[in-house]
Structure 1
Amino acid sequence: MMLKCFCCCSVSSEKLHALLLAECMMSILGEDWLSEDFEVQDNQNVLSVDKFVLLVLESARVEVAVLLNELAYLKYESSKISQTDEAISQKQRNLAILFSLIERIIKMISNASSGEGAPIHTIRESTIMQAITGLNETINLVLDFLQDAKDHGQWKGDDLLAAARIVGSYLAEAPYACKEKTGNLLEFIFSIEGQDESSSFYSICFMLPMLSQITMEVDGCRTLASFGGHKAVIDCLVKMTEQGGMTIDNGSMFLACDTIINFMSNMKSVHIPVDYCFIRLLKALVTWAGTTDASSVTMTASCLCVMLLDMTSEKFLLSCSHFDANILGSLSEIIIRSLQQDIPDDDSEQFKQKQIIVSGYKRWADRFPRVKDVVEQHVSV
């Protein structure tokens, strides 16, 4: 009945309510709910799953476009600000829910195109391509909305944070989509804060899936380096380990580590000064590796530690006020654990990491006599 009502909606407010209900259904039942094989009657004809998916997506896209335009006008053009506060808040709430719906559709389309999961109904390739085209257009509109905010010197707001999130969700699946606009706005996106937030931590986290992919190429690293974005990623990673007893989000940690590892691998020809942010990173990696015995954490943390140590010396680190022999000892333990790991034959990622660890250690071992002494008491390198 709800689906039939959705198809019959003609007034914008009714369609918006139907879309909000669709988001609730996907939130409760999962992304594949939208592709279930319902028999929805539309003028006595059965509405196919493909048509229904596109109907929901296109309806959401239209409402998002309208809300983005209205919000931009109310925030930047209207002279009666005091009379529009409630209107802005309501539109921001609606926009956030619509963004959530589109994010779920992005996930559903990604699963359908990659063959992941077990959807009840297979969506046609032509439908997937049509959906991707529509999503690309909507993300371009969202980026225009962010550009407008940048032009007006606005970087704080829940609507801006929600916009950063949906951009990040889409670029996680299509990292090179909207490449020029994204590149021009990346520094601004890194500055976006929620209304009640005191830092841009979340906006940077939203970009990590995309960053971990584009930094596999030199151009992506250059984009990040152009505004010191790698330091912002490091700061974000450090904050993940300083959550006051909260469980560390390993998924985000891996993405942040991959981004920095890619960055350092591809920027070897560029001098990267070892400053306080890198010392904080070493300490954060010690904290992270100390929370679990998982081999994936050990290998990733050790790989990045080895790359960082290759940039400096034991003498220099011990001369830094925020670094001491205890941290050096903890780093030695992480390296030992990684060198003692038995890597499964089918785990190419950890095998590659171990190669980086071994070759890196051999390059700088003589510059770190304390580390070398401890490591070689336990393993032969």
Structure 2
Amino acid sequence: METKSPSLEDCLKLLSGEKDEQKLAGLFLATKISDWSDTASVIKIYNALGARFLHRLLVTGMGKGDTGMEGRADREAYLKLSVTVLAGFCRVPEIASSEEMVSKIPLISEIISNLSDSSIIEECYEFLVLVASASEKGIIQILESRSIEPLARHILHDGIEDSRSQELAIRLLQLIVDRIPSYNVDKSYLSGMSWMVCTLSRQFALLHNILKFEVMHILISFLSSTSAIFNETLRELLGTNWAAYISIGIMEILQNRIVSCEKLQALRLLDSVMYIVGESFLLEDKIFDDVEATLPIDKFLQLVLESARVEIAVHLNELAYLKYEASKTSSTARTIELKRQNLAVLYSLVEKIIKLISSANVADGTILNEGILLQMISGLNETISLVLDFLQDAKDHCVWKGDDLLAAVRIIGSYLAQTPSACQEKTRDLLQHILSIEGDDESSPFYSICFLLPMLCQTTMDVDGCKALTSFGGHKSVVDFIVNLLRGNGTAVESGTIYIACDAILNILSHRKELEGQIEESPFLQLLQEFSTLAENNNDPSLLMIASSICSLVFDLTSEEKLLNLADFNHGTLERLSQLIALSLSQMLSKEEIDAYQELYDIVRAGYDRWSNRYPSVQNAVLSSMNH
């Protein structure tokens, strides 16, 4: 007589039984006869078995509590069965998103942390991925149950040899990253998130397959965070070498022949790391037991710069074509915006490298090879020349507004502040246009002037630099910049910027005799109006002294009588300026302050000796302050 094969109905009867033996038999039978891709059958099996039994089976396998199933079978077998069945059930999104499954996340995370059986760990990761994919509740539970940190520590310290588990773990971290921006992340979650970065960083260095790029993209998502607290948490974990691991991974990508977009993403990742931990980390030795750097430090730095330079050249060429030659479509506009964003990242990275190689504070005493350093400087000269060509193209097309142009001005200013003699002819030819450039949201030039100030401060130290700026009235732009800052109209900038701007004006006034005919009194008289309030409202001795120095040199150009004849200049303004000069020359400044600004003090003193007879009000104020 032919034996009848068990059916789904037979299985469901066993699963619905009251005894554990029946449920276990039904469960084993279900794994043999059921098609787990048949959603309807899986739901029937799940409902017949019941969430309570599944929970008891899981905790028994974990060796937790008195479940009534103790001693009936080997716990590991129970654990393997329960995790396998849970992962199978969760292939149905309706089940995976249920409260019963979401509540299992802490237990599954605990299993991963405590076991080494790769087959069980794979099922655990699959369960977590399925639950996290099914609903927002899964991600929230992972965050709120503090499951991120133990999972991350497991991957980081124990590693995952099985490629399937590795793939699932990375997929899980990707899901968490994708959902975090839409979830109000509490500060208490930051530790777990930072451990995820540590975990992914090591995997990024060790992997040599397509997963390497997936990990890189997840790291970019994490490290693009603007959270200062998160960045500080990452800095506290530098002992795990996460930043060094990332540099090893980037080193490998930049050395291999891969598509340009992935190299660009590697450079984006490096820029984010340098933003968080500082530029000098790039010059630190990277020695590990599990992975080896394939390049010495200076060669790696050169590789990064050369890779960025190639990308900048390509992007500038493509962007110029799209802006000035290609037909204008919505697709073109999107591509232009993407090119702009990429260039901003590349510029940022190159700026950090400029700062790094210009600094005397080389990490751990490491000194860059002189030959490599010269090659890098030569490369930077070429890149800055290309950026200037890009601005020349904009000038030729009468374009002066755009964030891409402003970003170009910034990198030019950063480099020429260190090497003001580089690309001198091109820079001087374009200087007027550069100072007129506005960002997309600016109504008048501000940041373009701000970015060029360190360079202008140096070039105006000699008369040729002053002539280059004043030949088209560029000094008036600097005066307007100072006025806007003093009036509070300028966007917030780094402290000291106003001092640098004043220093450039001071340089021009110091060469006033050689510039005769190129500069007029009127722009500088506007500064007198603004500086008149500093004696009463400013506690910064550096600004007070440089403002007094400028006033002293401007007084050389005119007289008290002429000033008082101006419509917008009155006795009150002159009285306040008199107090400013008197304060800078009096004993009210400490000896330390006078010593620190001796050169400025000498300018004020020498000027006062020249023109005091023409300014009786100032003379009276100075004499009065000295008598007190």
| 1:375 equivalenced with 2:619 (yes/no) | no
Deviations 1:44-93 (A, max 9, x none): 77311111101111111111111000000000110234430000001101
The 1:25–1:249 alpha-carbon spacing in structure 2 relative to 1, beyond 3 Å, is closer
Poorly superposed stretches of 4+, deviation over 6 Å: 245-248
| 1:279 equivalenced with 2:279 (yes/no) | no
Deviations 1:240-267 (A, max 9, x none): 1122598775411111111111111113
1:356 matched residue in structure 2? 603
**Of 427, 450, 458, the match for 1:205:** 450
Higher relative contact order at CA 8 Å, sep ≥6: structure 1 or structure 2?
1
The aligned amino acid for 1:20 is R
8 A contact 1:279–1:322 mirrored in 2: no
| 1:242 equivalenced with 2:490 (yes/no) | no
1:193 matched residue in structure 2? 438
2:541 matched residue in structure 1? 295
The 1:300–1:44 alpha-carbon spacing in structure 2 relative to 1, beyond 3 Å, is closer
The 1:73–1:167 alpha-carbon spacing in structure 2 relative to 1, beyond 3 Å, is same
The 1:205–1:119 alpha-carbon spacing in structure 2 relative to 1, beyond 3 Å, is farther
The aligned amino acid for 2:538 is T
8 A contact 2:594–2:601 mirrored in 1: no
8 A contact 2:358–2:418 mirrored in 1: yes
1:329 matched residue in structure 2? 575
The aligned amino acid for 1:217 is D
The 1:290–1:56 alpha-carbon spacing in structure 2 relative to 1, beyond 3 Å, is farther
The aligned amino acid for 2:345 is I
The aligned amino acid for 1:227 is F
The 1:60–1:287 alpha-carbon spacing in structure 2 relative to 1, beyond 3 Å, is farther
8 A contact 1:25–1:33 mirrored in 2: no
The worse-fitting range, judged by mean Cα deviation, of 46-55 and 64-73 is 46-55
**Of 165, 176, 201, the match for 2:410:** 165
The aligned amino acid for 1:56 is V
8 A contact 1:156–1:193 mirrored in 2: yes
**Of 282, 285, 288, the match for 1:34:** 282
Give the Cα separation in 2 of the matches to 1:22 and 1:255.
Answer: 31
8 A contact 1:169–1:206 mirrored in 2: yes
The aligned amino acid for 1:331 is L
| 1:68 equivalenced with 2:312 (yes/no) | no
Report the 3-state secondary structure (helix = DSSP H, G, I; strand = E; otherwise coil) of the residue aligned with 2:294.
strand
Q: Percent identity at matched positions? A: 49
The 1:371–1:304 alpha-carbon spacing in structure 2 relative to 1, beyond 3 Å, is same
**Of 265, 281, 284, the match for 2:510:** 265
1:5 matched residue in structure 2? 249
Give the Cα separation in 1 of the matches to 2:539 and 2:573.
Answer: 18
The aligned amino acid for 2:583 is R
Give the Cα separation in 2 of the matches to 1:337 and 1:118.
Answer: 43
8 A contact 1:3–1:40 mirrored in 2: no
The 1:65–1:287 alpha-carbon spacing in structure 2 relative to 1, beyond 3 Å, is farther
Give the Cα separation in 2 of the matches to 1:298 and 1:79.
Answer: 54
8 A contact 1:39–1:46 mirrored in 2: no
The 1:45–1:221 alpha-carbon spacing in structure 2 relative to 1, beyond 3 Å, is closer
- RMSD of aligned alpha carbons: 2.3
Greater Rg over alpha carbons, structure = 2
- The correspondence of residues 36-115 of structure 1 with structure 2, limited to 5 A, is 36-39=284-287, 46-111=294-359, 115=360
**Of 23, 32, 49, the match for 2:271:** 23
Report the 3-state secondary structure (helix = DSSP H, G, I; strand = E; otherwise coil) of the residue aligned with 2:400.
coil
1:252 matched residue in structure 2? 497
TM-superposed CA distance for 1:120, in Å, is: 6.1
Give the Cα separation in 1 of the matches to 2:555 and 2:423.
Answer: 36
Report the 3-state secondary structure (helix = DSSP H, G, I; strand = E; otherwise coil) of the residue aligned with 1:379.
helix
Gaps of 5+ in 2: 1-204, 206-245
TM-superposed CA distance for 1:366, in Å, is: 1.7
Give the Cα separation in 1 of the matches to 2:408 and 2:491.
Answer: 26
Q: TM-score of the superposition, structure 2-length normalised? A: 0.57
**Of 521, 544, 560, the match for 1:314:** 560
